[in-house]
Amino acid sequence: MQRQLDTVDMTLNMGPQHPSTHGVFRMVLTVDGERIVAVEPYIGYLHRGIEKLSETLNYRQVITLMDRADYLANFNNELTYVMAVEKLMRIEVPERAEYIRVILCELNRIASHLMFYGAMGSDAGVFGTAFMYAFQAREKIVAAFESVSGARMMHNFFRVGGVRDDLPRDFGPIMARLIPQLRQSIEDCHNLLGHNEVFIARSKGIGTIGPQEAIDYGLSGPALRACGVAEDLRRSDPYSIYPKLDFRIPVGKDGDCYDRYLLRVEEMRQSLYMVEQALEIIPPGPVMAQVPKVLKPPPGEVYVRTENPRGDLGIYLVSQGGDKPYRVKVRAPSFCNLMALEHLLRDCYIADCVMVLGSLDIVLGEVDR
């Protein structure tokens, strides 16, 4: 008779100081050998109380906090917040400002996706090469941001009613140089990982989720579109100048890590295309609307959502009249996407767990806020 070998599951604590949890995320894995039996995520190591702090600052100062929520998509976060205040105060933003915002946001989306690409490459085990490729491209974008806002990451550039300054005079030539370089970089990056047999073996069929389940879990952004749901707020709930731009919403098929990767690569191409169009038709004019010196929105509440690189970023803003918001609630896409982690990691290996987390592209600054 065969004797059953008695084995015990092992608890493995991954994070918060683990190199591939993308910050200070912590997972308590229960593993049976190399297989994951259960996963329990812990968050909150990067909690800075951004929502509560917002209640103590006036409307202009809150923008700086939004920079720091999702520190890889600063412009996109600023945009959502200033749109919320503008909606509350019914401010019309000059058209040129809208264009500048969209150009910067789309560039920021590329920068953020490049960061995803580099991190994903490192998670898959490329010895720094993918990371360096991505960062060299990202560096050029960040340098362009610096020429616009004076800062590489924490820009504090968008204002309620427009943007702080007009684009620098040499922004045209900068972009004329940057765009072909970026296009080449994106293809280089994709050629390094996307066609690599080992990478495909590691990511295809890993962390799969179906469209209905994805919607049920509240996934958004690339994680949702990778399952085949063509949901993009730039199209389905258009804001700013997106209706004037021509772009395609890429969708995936299987909802696995590889699809999420491919989708982000395609999104980078689309964003680049959008930036090109916007640069062509950007009108001259003022970049700031007439706004009062002290922002005091009327009492009321608004909910504004935009398409962040990571998904559907919503800001719920409540005003009771004063110069400070009564409540700023951020619906962070990373946080909501993380909800599906347990589902995605079902029956995975320990090595897959890193890939799945990487493919969700979470930013802990936004998860914990």
Partner 1 sequence: MPWYVDITARVGAMLIFLILTVLALVWLERKFAGRIQMRLGPMRTGYQGLLQSLADAVKLLLKEDLRPANADRWAFQMAPFVVFVPIFLIFVTIPFSRELVIRNLDMGLFYIIAVSGLSIVGIVMAGWGSDNKYALLGAVRSAAQMISYELPLVLALLGIAMQASSLNLVTIVEQQRFLPNLFMQPLGFTLFMVAALAELHRSPFDIPVAESEVVGGPFIEYSGIRWGIFYLSEYVNLVAVAALASLVFLGGWEWPLLPPAAWFLVKTFALIMVIMWVRATLPRLRIDQLMDFAWKILLPLAFVNIFIVGLYRLYQWPTWTVSLISLAMAIVAAATVYHFPGGERR
User: Under the rule (CB under 8 A), what is the footprint of partner 1?
Assistant: 10, 12-13, 18-20, 34, 121-129, 132-133, 136, 192-193, 196-202, 204-205, 349-352, 354
Tell me how far, at minimum, the Cβ of 229 lies from partner 1, in Å. Answer: 23
- Degrees to nearest 5, angle at CA 202 with 196 and 207: 130
Least distance (Å) from partner 1 to the CB of residue 350? 6
- Nearer of residues 128 and 299 to partner 1, judged by Cβ: 128
Q: Would you tell me how many other CB atoms lie within 10 Å of the CB of residue 146?
A: 13
Helix (H) or strand (E) holding 198: helix 197-203
Q: Which is nearer to partner 1, 104 or 265 (CB)?
A: 265
Q: How far is CA 328 from CA 33, 55, 81, 154, 369, in A?
A: 45, 7, 9, 19, 12
Structure tokens at 65: 């906090």
Q: Which is nearer to partner 1, 80 or 208 (CB)?
A: 208
Of the two residues 61 and 136, which places its CB atom closer to partner 1 in the complex? 136
3-state secondary structure (DSSP) of residue 286? coil
CB 135 → partner 1: shortest distance, Å? 9
Least distance (Å) from partner 1 to the CB of residue 352? Answer: 7
Q: CB of 121: closest distance to partner 1 in angstroms?
A: 7
**Contact of 229 with 251, CB cutoff 8 Å:** yes
Instruction: From 84, 49, 72, select the one nearest 303 (Cα to Cα).
Output: 84
Both tokens of residue 365? 């600054």
Q: Which of 163, 207, 201 is nearest to 361 (CA)?
A: 207
The smaller minimum CB distance to partner 1, of residues 13 and 320, is found at: 13
- Least Å distance between CB 206 and partner 1? 9
| Smallest separation (angstroms) from partner 1 to the CB of 335 | 23
Judged by CB, which is closer to partner 1: 201, or 281?
201
For the purposes of burial, counting CB atoms within 10 Å of the CB of 68, is it exposed (0-12), middle (13-18) or buried (19 or more)? middle
Question: Quick one: 18 or 87, whose CB is closer to partner 1?
Answer: 18
Token digits of residue 62: 């809150």
> What radius of gyration do the chain's Cα atoms show?
21
Q: Please state the closest distance from residue 11 (CB atom) to partner 1, in A.
A: 8
Between 122 and 271, CB nearer to partner 1: 122
Pairing of strands 162-163, 35-42: unpaired
CA distance 61 to 45: 24
Q: Which two tokens stand for residue 21?
A: 């949890």
Nearer to partner 1, 18 or 235 (CB): 18
Q: How far is the CB of 205 from partner 1 (least distance, A)?
A: 5
* Cβ(251)–Cβ(222) below 8 Å: no
Burial 24-34 (b: 16+ CB within 10 A, else e): bbbbebebeee
Closest CA to 200 of 250, 252, 259: 259
